[in-house]
Every structure is written in structure tokens, then in C-alpha cells.
Chains A and B, each alone.
Chain A
Amino acid sequence: MPGPNEEPPADATGSATPPDARPWQARVASERRRKRRRATDQRETLGRLTAATAVAAVGLNAALFLQTGIAQVGPAGVDQAILSIIKAVMPGTGLRPPATGPGSSPTPPVATTGGS
């Protein structure tokens, strides 16, 4: 079990410190490993940052798409617009807009059963 002040075990990148290495060699190897780890961490952070920004941009694009659509043609029109895009990309989906609720009848209701 290595002590807290000893070098960590060599990684798989070939920068192992030989057992008979002098102290300065050990320090240089340790510094190299530290820099390599930091570079890897920064690359991972940059990747996460870029991915998060891309997701945010796509989400904002969708939100603005809905905003412009609803402002111009209303929610039903946006439903149609989204469906038309999906149909254009995937013609076989057979999607239909949601059924609208019962609207007002063009003629007055007619009572078919007896009533007072």
C-alpha cells in the first residue's frame, strides 16, 4: 500500500517512473502525469460545455419555433406545422392532428325525447 507521499502507480501511457529513478526524475514524471490529467479534464469539461450549449441552442430553437408559430397561426396551426415537418421527414408515420373538441352546432339542437 503506497503512503500518502509516494508516487501513484504508473498509468498505461508509458510514463512510468523506474524504481531506481532519481528524485528529480520522479518529480518530472509526476508533473507530466499531472499535466496530462489536467489536459484530459479540460478536454472533458470543454466537451460537456459544448454539448450543453448545443442542447440549449436546440431547445431554444424549438421554443422560438413554437413562439413564432403560436403567435402567427395559433396552437392548432403549430400542430399542423410540426406534423407536416414529421411527415416530410418520415412519410410513413401516419400521424394526424389531435381531434378537436365538439364545436358549436350550426343549427339549434333538436330535442328528440320528450321533455317539459
Chain B
Amino acid sequence: MISSPSPFWFLDRSAGEVTLLLMSAVMILGIIRSAVPTAFPFLVEGAHINLALLTVAFAGLHIVAAILDPFASLGPVDALVPFVSAYRGTWLGLGVISGYVYAITVVISWPARRFPRATWVWLHRTMYVTWVLALLHSLGTGSDATNELFLLLNVAAVAGVLIAFLGFRVAEGWSALPPVWAALAVVAVLVTLGIAVWAVDGPLQPGWARSSGTPPDLLRSR
């Protein structure tokens, strides 16, 4: 049964965008903390942790609103199992995977880093991929990719993370291993450009709702 968009549908979309922005802020603070450990360590690390938990809260709101909303007919299984949803399954699945990795990173970091340091560091490094998956999920699943405000916020989030990575992380690591960090900088720029080209060619095009896997009956009800 298809119903008209409910308030939960709007809440789902707004909370999803705020989650992505908070996640980007957490990324930026984590990059600064890692690259410049002496710069206000208590404030930067504290803000990094607190915003990471705030991100979890908004991600929870995003998921709960998606499940409660009758419009897209998403259920708990769609929110828990990647790539099974009838609604834009591929792009929704990226969000599910991103959520899992993010949750694991937060849970492992929280109890005073009881895991081996190397495990903790490498898990934190997966956050770069997690963030990219969340961005692809936002653009691919989100109904607001073409909305000017959403687009502006997404561009700001991407620019912020990219500038922090190049300006702090790459700059800090450059002195020790220039070839490695040059390669990582090139990868970061290429990934960003790739996402931009894909977004212009895909989610920002008029027919994206159909080609991304929106059920036909839902398309008719819009």
C-alpha cells in the first residue's frame, strides 16, 4: 500500500543530512587530532568524541524515522541487512554498511581503547571509506540531491574533509614519507572528482529516481 509522504519521510531525510554533516565534522576533528596532536588536544579530542556520539544519535533518528515512515515501506530488515531493500537497494545498502563500520569504530573506541593500538588505528582509518560510503548513500538514496540547500551542505562537507586531509594529514606526513602521502593525496583528489562526476551524471539528473531503483508504484505516487 502506498501512502503520501509522511512527516517521518521528511524527518528521515533531514536527519540523514545532519548525520552526514556531523560525521564530516567528526572526520575533520579526527584528522586534526591525528596530524597536530599538540593543537588544543583536550578540546579537539573531546569535541571529536562528543560529536561522534551526537552523530550516532542523529543516525539513530534517521534509521528510526525511515522504519516508521510508511511512504517508502522500509522495515527493520532493510535497515539491518545491506542490499535487500526494494527501495534503491544498492544505495541504501551502502548506508547500512557505513552505519555498521561507524558503530563498530565508536564502540571499540569508547571503552578507553582497550583494543590493541594497531587495531584501533586501522579501524579508525576505515572511517575514510565509511565516510565515502555515507556520502554515496546520501547522494544515491537521498531524494534531495538536487535541492540547492542539501547540495550546498554536501559540497561544504566534502570540501571540509578534503581540505583537512590535504592541509593537515598529508602536510604532516609529507616530511616522513613523501611518495606515500603524495599518492594518498592524489587518491583523495581523484575520489572526490570521481564522486563529483558521478553525482553530476547520476543523482543530479532528472531520471535518477527511476534508475536508482525506486519502486515504480512509488514513483507514480510522487
A72 with B46, Cβ < 8 A, contacts A61-B18, A61-B58 known:
no
Asked if A46 CB lies within 8 Å of chain B CBs, one says yes
Q: Is the CB of A57 within 8 A of B22?
A: yes
B80 at the interface (CB under 8 A from A): no
Whether the pair B42, A46 counts as a contact (CB closer than 8 A) is yes
Hey, which chain A residues are within 8 Å of B6, CB to CB?
81, 84
For A49, the chain B residues whose CB sits under 8 A away are: 43, 47
User: Contacts A42-B42, A42-B43, A49-B43 hold; do A61 and B15 have CB atoms under 8 A apart?
Assistant: yes
Q: Is B43's CB under 8 angstroms from A73's CB?
A: no
Does the CB pair A68–B10 fall under 8 Å? yes
Residues of B within 8 A of A85 (CB): 7, 11
With A57-B58, A72-B10, A81-B6 already in contact, the answer to whether A64 and B18 are too (CB < 8 A) is yes
- B10 close to A81 (CB less than 8 A): yes
| B58 in contact with A67 (CB, 8 Å) | no
Would you call B192 an interface residue if the criterion is a C-beta within 8 Å of the partner chain's C-beta atoms? no
- What chain A residues lie within 8 Å of B108 (beta carbons)? none
The answer to whether A67 touches B147 (Cβ under 8 A) is yes
Picked from A46, A53, A68, the residue with its CB within 8 Å of the CB of B43 is A46
Nearest CB on B from A5, distance (A): 30
- Residues in chain A near residue B17, CB distance under 8 A: 64
A4 to chain B minimum Cβ distance, whole angstroms, is 30
Q: Which of B18, B22, B25 has the most CB of A within 10 A?
A: B18
Minimal Cβ-Cβ distance residue in B for A73: B5
Q: Which of A6-24 contact B (CB under 8 A)?
A: none
Whether the pair B14, A64 counts as a contact (CB closer than 8 A) is yes
Q: Which of A39, A42, A50, A82 contacts B50 (CB 8 A)?
A: A50
Q: Given A54-B54, A68-B147, A46–B7 Cβ distance below 8 Å?
A: no
B43 touches A45 (CB 8 A): yes
Closest B residue to A83 using CB positions = B7
Residues of B near A90 (CB, < 8 A) are none
State the CA gap A68–B16 with chains docked (Å). 12
Inside 8 A of A67's CB, which chain B residues have their CB? Answer: 14, 147, 149
B1-33, CB < 8 A from A: 4-7, 10-11, 13-15, 17-18, 21-22, 25
Answer yes or no: B150 CB below 8 A from chain A CBs: yes
Q: Across the A-B interface, give the 4 residue pairs with the lowest CB-CB distance, nearest first.
A: A64-B14, A81-B7, A65-B14, A46-B46
Give me 12 other A-B pairs in contact (C-beta within 8 A), A68-B13, A81-B10 excluded: A42-B42, A46-B43, A46-B50, A49-B43, A50-B46, A50-B47, A50-B51, A57-B54, A60-B14, A68-B144, A81-B6, A82-B7
Residues of A within 8 A of B (CB): 39, 42-43, 45-46, 49-50, 53-54, 57, 60-65, 67-69, 71-73, 78, 81-82, 84-85
